[in-house]
Amino acid sequence: MAAVAELSSLEKTLGLREGNKFSTQGDKQDLNRYLEDKVYLAGNSFTLADILMYYGLHPIIAELTIQEKEKHVNVSRWFNHIQHYPNVRQHLSPIIFLKNRLYSSVY
């Protein structure tokens, strides 16, 4: 029950709607802004909210191009951090993130 309350509170804080929360560009950007100054989704430590969000985002992050991952740099940073926690990834394939930026937004 505590996990459901935690996720409900997180959704309210982020202003996310019901359904597929990260299927549109705007929603990903909202999460990207939310994670700008955070290491974890809820509080200052690793919680069930991080695990559940990781599993929900995995198929979406797996489909992103390198440029899209760089555009959502805070989500990418958080996701990469969470996937390296012991026993979190389990059967899911690891998602590769570049350690240094190859593309610049300035031409």
Give residue-wise pLDDT tens across range 45-101.
Answer: 999 999 999 998 898 888 888 888 888 889 999 999 999 999 998 999 999 987 665
* Model confidence pLDDT, tens digit, residues 21-47: 443 444 556 888 889 999 999 889 999
Q: Indicate whether 10 belongs to any domain.
A: yes
pTM of this structure: 0.70
Cα-to-chain-centroid distance, residue 71: 13
CATH classification of the domain holding 9: 1.20.1050.10
pLDDT for 19 equals 44
Number of structural domains the chain divides into = 1
Range of the domain at 59: 2-83
pLDDT class for 10, splitting at 50, 70, 90? Answer: low
